[in-house]
Amino acid sequence: MTQEQIDEMVAENDALKTQVTSNKDLADQLALARLQADEAMLKLADCEGGNSKVHIIVGAFKNSSYANDYSAEMKEQGYAGRIIAGPYNFNLVTSGSYESIKASLQDLNGVRDNVIETAWIYIE
């Protein structure tokens, strides 16, 4: 192996290390943003007093057949898998429905860990 090849490999290794560090930083920023959003939702929950229904959404589909298939998958995993009508004609698949934001937030992180990282809260 020539010195030029070694230098090239070292440079590539350094670039990969930089990229990994950058990705970790982005993941940390995302986790912080989620935490801040959850804290904001908790503050909102303290102010809530309406008759709204709160859902954790694990999928949103324009095609009702896809929504039905995903709903069946969620039910097999032990989640509600209910389909509700969302904005802009989306079919929203739930992992669960709740009476308050605070109650939904207690389950949200578990759903994000076990089902889909991008699960979100929808207030009907």
> Same domain, yes or no, for 37 and 56?
no
87 has a pLDDT exceeding 80 = yes
Q: Are residues 56 and 72 in the same domain?
A: yes
pLDDT for the residue numbered 74 = 96
Mean pLDDT over 73-96 rounds to: 94
Answering whether pTM is above 0.85, one says no
Please tell me whether residues 24 and 82 are part of one structural domain: no
Same domain, 58 and 119: yes
Task: Specify the DSSP class assigned to residue 78.
Answer: T
Residue 65 scores a pLDDT above 80: yes
Specify whether 1 is located in the same domain as 20.
Answer: yes
**Percent share of the chain, pLDDT over 70:** 92
Note whether 73 and 98 are same-domain residues: yes
- pLDDT computed for residue 102 by the predictor: 81
Q: Are 59 and 93 in contact (CB under 8 A)?
A: yes
38: pLDDT strictly greater than 90: no
Do 43 and 55 share a domain, yes or no? no
Q: What burial letters (b/e) apply to 74-107, b meaning 16+ CB within 10 Å? A: beeeebbbebbebeeebbbbbbbbbeebeebbeb
* pLDDT score for 106: 87
Please report, for the domain that includes residue 87, its CATH number.
3.30.70.1070
Q: How far apart are CA 3 and CA 17, in angstroms?
A: 21
Same domain as 35, residue 62: no
How many of the other CB atoms lie within 10 Å of CB of 48?
14
Q: Which domain range does residue 3 map to?
A: 1-47
Q: How many domains is the chain partitioned into structurally?
A: 2
Kindly state whether residues 69 and 91 are assigned to the same domain. yes
Per-residue pLDDT, 71? 97
Q: Pick the range with the lowest mean pLDDT from 9-18, 20-29, 94-103.
A: 20-29
